[in-house]
Amino acid sequence: MSLRVGFIGTGNIARTHMAQLSQMSDVKIVCGYDPSTEAISVSSERFGFTPYDSLDKMLDSEKLDCAYICIPPFAHGESEKKLIERGIPFFVEKPIGLDLSTVKEIASLIESRGLIVSTGYQWRYLDIVKKAKELVSPDKIGMVLGYWMGGLPMVHWWRIREQSGGQFIEQTTHIIDLARFIIGDIDEVYALFARRIIFDVENMDVPDVGTVNLKFKNGVIGNISNTCILNFGYTVGLHIYERDLVVEILSNKLVINERKKRTEERSDNNPYFDEDEAFLNAVKENDPSMILSTYRDGARTLAVTISAWESFVSGKPVKVEEV
């Protein structure tokens, strides 16, 4: 019998997940809710599910095995709580919120109910990331350098700090999470952000450049920088430095640098499909161990990115809040 899946939020990232689920014979997208009539109309017509203009009506009318939450950062909180109240497992896209106290409350509710929840950090599911984890040893790593260098997403809420949190919280969170996944938790951050170049976009108040120094709990230090000033996509990745090894993780390629030897390996899997399959299998088998990024993982990554903003505001290093 097919898993019955509902979507909260039916925009671009939701359609990415819908496209993966549509390839699975034992999964059926049955319904979706979105306050945007355009988004829900486009998605429901394309994927053939029942559209709703009320979340409560959808959840009360449909019998769901699980749900996907694909909404902007500022909108998180109530949707998660409504699913938890009904005991519905869910997948939630990153970042999982902007208010850490609310996220911590939701994490506790999830764990008290024993609910299966996954977060949208698809880099963890890349085959090249698995290989990188096998190659490096956290106790041998000296430092890491990460970056997300590209353009400005033309989504209105992304440009407003109170709605997106800014590039570091909304986008570069993937690189922070990747570093945490491979190296371990981060203890302290010191950040600099600025708006240097983009002044011709209306209603924008997020920084367009930023750099954040990191101190991991195991002693590794690092820096992760980002910019959205470019008029083209450029590069995204994480470099890990040991004494006799430098590993470069890029969006679709792994570069292994050793003495007098350089090897490149292309990614051969679809991380969106694999993260969705892992979540849905976890729901079917009631086995959360299949999931590589739990809600608590997402909360810890969020804590790092929020601490970076707090560091910028204060002009001082900030200890990352325990989650």
Residues 91 and 143 in one domain: no
Residues 206 and 255 in one domain: yes
Any residues with CB less than 8 A from the CB of 54 and at least 6 apart, and which?
33
CATH number of the domain within which 142 lies: 3.30.360.10
Nearest residue to 83 via CA among 95, 69, 101, 94 = 69
**Other Cβ atoms closer than 10 A to 149:** 17
Number of domains in the chain: 2
Q: Is residue 297 part of a domain?
A: no
Residues 208 and 282 in one domain: no
Q: Please, are residues 265 and 273 in contact by the beta-carbon 8 Å criterion? A: no
Query: What local confidence, expressed as pLDDT, does residue 1 receive?
Result: 79
| Report field, pTM of the whole predicted structure over 0.95 | yes
Amino acid at 180: R
Query: What local confidence, expressed as pLDDT, does residue 154 receive?
Result: 84
Residues 74 and 196 in one domain: no
Residues 132 and 263 in one domain: yes
Residues 113 and 153 in one domain: no
Residues 153 and 200 in one domain: yes
Residues 235 and 137 in one domain: yes
d(CA 88, CA 280): 12
Residues 73 and 96 in one domain: yes
Residues 93 and 162 in one domain: no
Residues 129 and 112 in one domain: no
Q: Is residue 141 part of a domain?
A: yes
Own/partner contacts of 276-279, CB < 8 Å, gap of 24 or more, are: 276/17, 276/20, 276/21, 276/24, 276/91, 277/20, 277/24, 278/118, 278/125, 279/66, 279/91, 279/116, 279/118
CA atoms within 13 A on the CB side of 261: 7
CATH number of the domain within which 50 lies: 3.40.50.720
Cα 275 → chain centroid: 12
Q: What is the DSSP letter of 294?
A: B
Q: In which residue ranges of the chain is pLDDT below 70?
A: none
Q: Which domain holds residue 244?
A: 123-268+303-319
